[in-house]
Amino acid sequence: MPSVPHTFDTVPQVWPHRHLLDLERLTPGEIRLLLDAAAQLKEATAGCRRKLTILSGRTIVNLFFENSTRTRTSFSLAARRLGADVVEFSASGSSLSKGESFIDTAKNLEAMGIDVVVVRHSTPGTPHLLAQHLDVGVINAGDGAHEHPTQGLLDIFSIRERLGDISGATVGLVGDIAHSRTARSNVWGLLKLGAKVIVCGPPTLVSKRWEELGVEVSHNLDEIVPRCDVLNLLRIQFERQNTRPFPSVREYAHLYAMTGERLKRARKDLLSRAPGPINRGVEVSDDVADCPQSLILDQVTNGLAVRMATLWLTCGNRLPETDQTGPAQPGLPAEKTL
Ligand code: CP
């Protein structure tokens, strides 16, 4: 396992990337390095609460074109915990409304001496495009239905913290797999670390083509629940759907919501988690969301640790080396096209 220097003075040379665009192109060793760094930073900041100075003098810009509670806030806090300055860019009050292009906007922000752009956009590949045009680091905070790498990492970090190891664990991803960038990042990260992954939901939201990646496909939650060590309960992304994928929310919840009844048939030590925001009564019932096995709020705290590690690796002191500046080439396209 790669070691992370306790001083965080320099980024290890085994981390060659300037950007974090997706998990698809990270190696298992790079993912473990990032998780190890997150664990050390969580400890060094007393549970993500204490401030350090390892990114003192750096400036992070949050460039969000979609709504966010967790990701935006935790990137801001993570940057501040490491001593960096943070700029919150708001598209609605910007000169985009006067016709300035997205790339020109980003280049103008870059010209102000920033070090990293954290970008969320509804169009898949937007962070990859920015990485081609900017000389500063780019972090993908969610690009359409493609990937949400720091969410995948914090989900995996939270499992590893409880189980000790990802390898051999059976992880079920339940819900709207077709429109979920979180599902894609989880699948890549979990497979690379040796987990067995099951994707589960209605046939309209879970394609059989996931099997091409070595993922099990199921449309029967009751059948998979007893076999899982971890369940990740994904939100129905109504905002990304052009057609209704099931007759009613009530029917969906009957078949695919994780409830107290279903929990009784799960392993005693089942870990249930959800990336948030959660819709209580749709993908998860109150008693499951709030049960002791629920990792939902642990995940939010761990989001700070993972984002501190991501910021350190993308703009900490390092040898000049770039990677990942090519166009988006996800191995599995947005499932709508499958
Ligand atoms: N999980 C997640 O990305 O949450 P936000 O949309 O609130 O950032």
337 CA to centre of ligand 1 in angstroms: 24
Does position 4 have pLDDT exceeding 70, yes or no? no
Least confident of 107-111, 129-133, 191-195, 329-333: 329-333
Q: What is the pLDDT of residue 332?
A: 40
Atom of ligand 1 minimally distant from the CA of 66: 6
Atom of ligand 1 minimally distant from the CA of 74: 8
290 CA to centre of ligand 1 in angstroms: 19
Give pTM, 2 decimals. 0.91
Atom of ligand 1 minimally distant from the CA of 276: 1
Least confident of 2-6, 209-213, 313-317: 2-6
Atom of ligand 1 minimally distant from the CA of 120: 8
CA–CA distance, 93 with 166 (Å, rounded to integer):
43
Q: What is the pLDDT of residue 17?
A: 94
Q: How do residues 143-192 score in pLDDT, each as one tens digit?
A: 999 999 999 999 999 999 999 999 999 999 999 999 999 999 999 999 99
172 CA to centre of ligand 1 in angstroms: 20
Which residues make Cβ contacts (< 8 Å) with residue 20, sequence separation at least 6?
Answer: 137, 138, 139, 140, 149, 150, 310, 313, 314
Least confident of 55-69, 94-108, 183-197, 307-321: 307-321
Does position 274 have pLDDT exceeding 90, yes or no? no
Give the HSE-up count for residue 263: Cα atoms under 13 Å, Cβ half-sphere.
21
144 CA to centre of ligand 1 in angstroms: 12
Three-state secondary structure readout of the chain: CCCCCCCCCCCCCCCCCCCECCCCCCCHHHHHHHHHHHHHHHHHCCCCCCCCCCCCCCEEEEEECCCCCHHHHHHHHHHHHCCCEEEEEEHHHCHHHHCCCHHHHHHHHHCCCCCEEEEEECCCCHHHHHHHHCCCEEEEEEECCCECHHHHHHHHHHHHHHHCCCCCCEEEEECCCCCCHHHHHHHHHHHHCCCEEEEECCCCCCCHHHHHHCCEEECCHHHHHHHCCEEEECCCCHHHCCCCCCCCHHHHHHHHCECHHHHHCCCCCCEEECCCCCCECCCECHHHHCCCCECHHHHHHHHHHHHHHHHHHHHCCCCCCCCCCCCCCCCCCCHHHC
CB 186, CB 152: distance < 8 Å:
yes
Q: How confident is the model at residue 292 (pLDDT cuts 50, 70, 90)?
A: confident
13 CA to centre of ligand 1 in angstroms: 31
221 CA to centre of ligand 1 in angstroms: 24
Q: How confident is the model at residue 304 (pLDDT cuts 50, 70, 90)?
A: very high
Nearest to 285 by CA among 261, 267, 303, 311: 261
The mean pLDDT of 74-89, rounded to a whole number, is 97
Nearest to 252 by CA among 264, 267, 241: 241
Which of 66, 74, 151 maximizes ligand 1 atoms within 8 Å of its Cβ, making it the mutation to test the pocket? 151
In angstroms, the first-to-last Cα distance of the chain is 36
Q: Which residues, judged by CB distance below 6 Å to any ligand atom, belong to the binding site of ligand 1?
A: 68-71, 142, 148, 151, 275-277
Q: What is the pLDDT of residue 326?
A: 45
Question: What are the chain's domains?
Answer: 28-147+300-325 (3.40.50.1370), 149-299 (3.40.50.1370)
CA dihedral 74, 171, 2, 22 (to 10 degrees): -60
Residue nearest to atom 5 of ligand 1 (CA): 68
Which of 62, 69, 240 maximizes ligand 1 atoms within 8 Å of its Cβ, making it the mutation to test the pocket? 69
Q: What is the pLDDT of residue 59?
A: 98
301 CA to centre of ligand 1 in angstroms: 13
Least confident of 99-103, 199-203, 228-232, 234-238: 234-238
CA–CA distance, 320 with 17 (Å, rounded to integer):
10
CB 127, CB 164: distance < 8 Å:
no
Atom of ligand 1 minimally distant from the CA of 148: 3
CB 179, CB 240: distance < 8 Å:
yes
More confident residue, 151 or 333: 151
C-alpha distances in Å from residue 275, one per residue of 75, 141, 314, 323: 15, 13, 23, 28
- Percent with pLDDT over 90 in the chain: 78
**Other residues' Cβ atoms within 10 Å of the Cβ of residue 227:** 14
